[in-house]
């Protein structure tokens, strides 16, 4: 661990005879633009021990939104106690598959006394919202999470309903989201943790984007309106500038990445940017780990607990 100071041509219609006589080869029509991706604010409910499934009406989305939430054993055993909340932001593709292993990880740490009892809210970030408000307004994900979801959780559960009672963490797309939201809403979250976050480069040309150009084009269209300037405005590298220049409070910040992860340069770039801006943060590179949430947690071992307020 080190500590740093720290986007017609008309088609000629010809019969076969006329084409052979005069038309020549017809110009192929341009491919139809793919339809915008479906907006899916509700996921199926999972059955996982200790986890509840909740739906609520979001004023921002003007829709019903779902999330899952882990409640520690102490929530039932101590009916007057209030608890901190960790908001978990999943990676691209959707987060349902990670809920069971992450619940087991956090539940085991709480039962072993390694971290304080806390709620873990598994937000629904869809497959590729980038945890951002889309430029066209169809998916105001950032606002739904930071305003509507936080308000909902504090109203429904016995939470420590202040900044000091909220932590933010995510992996991959979720790490990118946690870094941006943690800096943009420092008055709402006491700490944020960006695990293998991306995309962070300013041209959306990181290894995962270049490896799947169709997906890159779809995200650039759906989220950023085919506007690279809008994409750049949402980059943690840019958000860090106003964050560093802003007044207190400053959240605790953790950046973690596996040294075998192809996204490692993005985490290094964010670390270096924060360092250059004088923003205090923890930066941890984990040997022998690629792009894998649970492998990253497993390799972190005891070094993981401090972020959650444990030892």
Q: Per the structure block, which two tokens stand in for 301?
A: 């071992």
CA–CA distance, 183 with 161 (Å, rounded to integer): 19
Q: What is the pLDDT along the chain (311 residues), one digit of tens a residue?
A: 444 433 333 333 333 333 333 333 334 444 444 444 567 899 999 999 999 999 999 999 999 999 999 999 999 999 999 999 999 999 999 999 999 999 999 999 999 999 999 999 999 999 999 999 999 999 999 999 999 999 999 999 999 999 999 999 999 999 999 999 999 999 999 999 999 999 999 999 999 899 999 999 999 999 999 999 999 999 999 999 999 999 878 999 999 999 999 999 999 999 999 999 999 999 999 999 999 999 999 999 999 999 999 86
Helix (H, G, I), strand (E, B) or coil at 7: coil
> Pairing relation of β-strands 119-123 and 166-171?
unpaired
Tokens, residue 152: 């909902």
Other C-beta atoms lying within 10 Å of the C-beta of residue 82: 15
ω before 39 within 30° of 0 (cis)? Answer: no
Among residues 229, 227, 190, 159, the alpha carbon closest in space to that of 307 is found at 190
Q: pTM of this prediction? A: 0.88
């Amino acid at each position: 661990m080190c500590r740093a100071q720290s986007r017609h041509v008309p088609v000629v219609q010809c019969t076969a005879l006329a084409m052979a006589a005069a038309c020549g080869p017809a110009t192929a029509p341009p491919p139809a633009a793919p339809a915008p991706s479906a907006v899916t604010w509700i996921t199926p409910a999972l059955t996982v021990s200790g986890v509840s499934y909740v739906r609520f009406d979001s004023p921002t989305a003007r829709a019903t939104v779902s999330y899952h939430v882990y409640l520690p054993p102490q929530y039932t055993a101590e009916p007057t106690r209030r608890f901190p909340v960790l908001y978990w932001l999943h990676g691209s593709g959707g987060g349902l598959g990670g809920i069971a292993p992450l619940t087991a990880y956090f539940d085991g740490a709480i039962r072993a006394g390694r971290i304080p009892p806390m709620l873990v809210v598994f937000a629904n970030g869809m497959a590729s919202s980038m945890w951002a408000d889309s430029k066209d307004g169809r998916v105001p994900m950032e606002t739904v999470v930071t305003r509507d979801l936080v308000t909902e959780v504090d109203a429904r559960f016995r939470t420590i309903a202040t900044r000091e009672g909220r932590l933010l963490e995510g992996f991959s797309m979720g790490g990118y989201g946690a870094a941006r939201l943690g800096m943009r809403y420092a008055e709402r979250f006491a700490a944020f943790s960006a695990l293998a976050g991306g995309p962070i480069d300013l041209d959306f040309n990181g290894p995962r984007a270049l490896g799947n150009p169709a997906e890159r084009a779809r995200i650039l269209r759906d989220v950023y309106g085919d506007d690279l300037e809008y994409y750049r405005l949402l980059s943690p590298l840019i958000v860090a500038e106003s964050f560093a220049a802003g007044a207190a409070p400053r959240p605790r910040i953790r950046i973690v990445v596996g040294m075998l992860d192809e996204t490692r340069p993005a985490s290094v770039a964010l670390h270096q940017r924060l360092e250059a801006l004088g923003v205090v943060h923890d930066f941890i590179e984990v040997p022998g780990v690629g792009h894998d949430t649970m492998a990253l947690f497993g390799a972190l071992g005891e070094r993981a607990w401090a972020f959650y307020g444990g030892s």
